[in-house]
Amino acid sequence: MKNDKQVGEAMLKDRYCMVTGASSGIGREIALGLAQRGAKVFMVCRDPGRGHAAQEYIWRQSGNSDIHLLMADLSVQDQVRMLAMDFMQQHGVLHLLVNNAGVIMGRRVLTADGIEMTFAVDYLSYFLLTNLLLGALRAGAPSKIVNMTTSLHRMAKLDLDNLQGEKSFSRDSAYARSKLAVVLFTYELARRLEGSGITVNCVCPGACSSGIWSQSSRTIDSFFHALMKGSEQGAVLPLHLACSSSVQGLSGRYFETKQHLKMSKVNVKGTESRSSAASYDKDAAATLWQMSERLTGLVGSA
């Protein structure tokens, strides 16, 4: 019987795959896993030094030289537009988009576009980049979108009046709210893309010790981080969604691993889960979509 990697090799050979936030953590390991399966990988990174280091790491570990670096700060909408435009002009086809970039902000910081940073990177960049690349994903159909979220989305209410922490801000609620927005976006996009040959799902990779927790200075957090699994294990479930024939054709679903600790092996079986009740609110998803169009100035989205 073929294992997940062998099936992935058959499905991903020479396929155009883009991963955002590929300079470190789980994104770098997802990019490596795709490279090991023979894909043509486009790594979206914001820092040239970290981007080149990650590219070299993937070249070395995979022996695949078809790994490309695309520079963009995803908190800046003009850079997201430029990234998508360049990619459309140069390649025009995409088989897999993994929206993975993420931050957790200790305080409320606004982006160059005047949008709260967590919301801008962890959700709005997914919305904008995906919509701008839909033409390439249509050209590559059957194609896939994998959005990174977290089980912590269950702690959030959408709260459309405080979407960007305008009224009150806390690190954890800003992160949870942005990731709830990712789940709502995934379900709404799946409804809009029905029959298009493009599938979209979201995934919580489980807790991993990675750079995203660097904004935390709490001693209890460093204690938990010492026990958490590494980014390589965090990439297992997203890679399964990207490669496995067992999820072929599934769309608008949420997957979650409950294996968080270093010593536990990530098992992909039975990971399709129910997300929070709030995430199934179709009216909220439609309103969020309209607000996201307004915030990004996007016209003619999916």
Ligand X SMILES: NC(=O)c1ccc[n+]([C@@H]2O[C@H](COP(=O)([O-])OP(=O)(O)OC[C@H]3O[C@@H](n4cnc5c(N)ncnc54)[C@H](OP(=O)(O)O)[C@@H]3O)[C@@H](O)[C@H]2O)c1
Residues recognised as catalytic? 175
Q: Which residue in 122, 120, 114, 118 sits closest to 149, CA to CA?
A: 122
Is position 212 an interface residue for ligand X (rule: CB under 6 A)? yes
- If binding is defined by CB under 6 A, does position 190 make contact with ligand X? no
Query: x/- string (CB under 6 A) for ligand X, residues 229-248?
Result: --x-----------------
Are the beta carbons of 48 and 128 closer than 8 angstroms? no
Establish how many alpha carbons lie within 13 A of residue 64's alpha carbon, considering only the half-sphere containing its beta carbon: 23
User: Using CB under 6 A, which of 62, 77, 130, 150 touches ligand X?
Assistant: 150
Distance of alpha carbon 180 from alpha carbon 242, whole angstroms: 21
- Does 202 engage in binding with ligand X (CB under 6 A)? no
5 vs 225 by CB, closer to ligand X: 225
**Binding status of residue 256 toward ligand X by CB under 6 A:** no
By CB under 6 A, residue 62 contacts ligand X: no
Closest approach, Cβ 199 to ligand X, in A, equals: 19
State the binding string over 261-300 for ligand X (x if CB under 6 A, else -). Answer: ----------------------------------------
128 vs 208, beta carbon nearer ligand X: 208
Torsion angle, alpha carbons of 149, 153, 159, 163, to 10? -40
The 63-102 contact track toward ligand X, x by CB under 6 A, reads ----------xxx------------------------xxx
Taking the C-alpha atoms of residue 273 and residue 202, their distance in angstroms, rounded to an integer, is 11
* Per-residue CA distances from 54 to 14, 27, 69, 140 (Å): 20, 10, 9, 26
Among positions 207, 241, 284, 288, the unique one binding ligand X when judged by CB under 6 A = 207
> What residue type is assigned to position 297 of the chain?
G
Examine residue 47 and tell whether it contacts ligand X (CB under 6 A).
yes
Give the residue among 232, 231, 235, 280 at the shortest CA–CA distance from 253: 280
- Letters for 7-36 (x = contact with ligand X by CB under 6 A, - = none) are --------------x-xxxxx---------
**CA–CA distance from 165 to each of 156, 177, 191, 291 (Å)?**
12, 9, 28, 15
Q: What b/e sequence results for 31-43 when a residue is b if at least 16 CB atoms lie within 10 Å of its CB, and e otherwise?
A: bbbbbbbbbbbbb
**∠ CA(20), CA(56), CA(124), 5° rounding?**
10
> Minimum distance between the CB of residue 250 and ligand X, rounded to whole angstroms?
20
Residues in contact with ligand X by CB under 6 A are 21, 23-27, 46-47, 50, 73-75, 100-103, 121-122, 148, 150, 204-205, 207-208, 210-212, 231
